[in-house]
Structure 1
Amino acid sequence: MPKDSYTDPKSKPNLRKPDASDGAAIWELIRACKPLDENSMYANLIQADHFSDTCVVAELDGEIVGWISGHMIPGEDAFFVWQVAVSADARGIGLGKTMLLDLVNRDETRDATTLKTTITKDNDASWGLFRSFANDIGGELTDAPHFKKDAHFDGAHDTEHMVSITLPRRMKLKRVA
């Protein structure tokens, strides 16, 4: 069976918009997904509360096993994905792409013509996810250094490359999983 297929439909994660009560669980998920940058629990609480329309959680048996935070970039027709976290128990089933598709299909992101995110060159899992997503939707993926190690991070963090993926216009994208 393909790895992007769920073997038991009853155990298929439920996707939904987060709310403030999810903040602590989201923070714990991110902490468990090394090497993701940990924000404060308060930052995740604010994301879940103020940006719920452009964020998603995936639940399995009442536990949050997936999270994507994002927002529309002010003044641009672009949806920015800040962070993707998938629990070790839910990896390998296409959950990351399924959550991305959920987000780009929402009314709140309908004006987006581009999905953007930043990735360090050594983050193979993120590159794999976004390349696969771009391929599945027929979008073009480009990247360029954006937040630079010395200029923006005072040498304390690797350069983040701005990844841009063109999104099909006025087309509902199909679920991957």
Structure 2
Amino acid sequence: MKPARTALILAAALLPGLAWAHAEPGGHFSLFTGFAHPFLGADHLLAMLMVGLWAAQQQGWQRALPPLVFVGFMAVGSMLAYAGLSLPATESGIALSVLALGLFAAFAVRLPVAVSLAVIAGFAVFHGHAHGAELPLASSAGYLPGYLAATALLHGIGYVFASRVVPAQGRIARAAGGATAVTGLAWLLG
């Protein structure tokens, strides 16, 4: 099957019904539920994988920056939510992150380092805020480290996929980015 057709099928399969996995039933928040959370919502899953894939498309030491900055600012976003600060349009910000990160990977975009890190940090704050707004600070002892660890793991999976499994600049990596961008656009418009 051609990469473009595969990308379109993947995008169609991930349309809105799989998105927005934000509160665990019963309010049980633990290290395990925190770790599982990014794997349960396609919005988080795709964004995390694209950060890793896009990082693999960068050069030299700049490859490490997007995942590190994302995890750090995701924690900042959670702390803002814990502090009671409201972040307007959080779900739209997350959908926009899926769209933009998909486009970055599809076109192997290389931005100036400061711009790249600012964009990644902004998207990470939205993702972190969505996680942090779901539970009280007292419940986060295991949850916060769990979802930060899962986020780092997903970044690593995206990175390994685009640097060891397929060529980072190749058609398959770019098709994955394109499919992710289409999915993000559908969520943003839906």
Same fold (TM over 0.5): no
Higher strand share: 1
Higher helix share: 2
Of the two structures, which has the highest relative contact order with CA contacts closer than 8 Å and spacing of 6 or more? 2
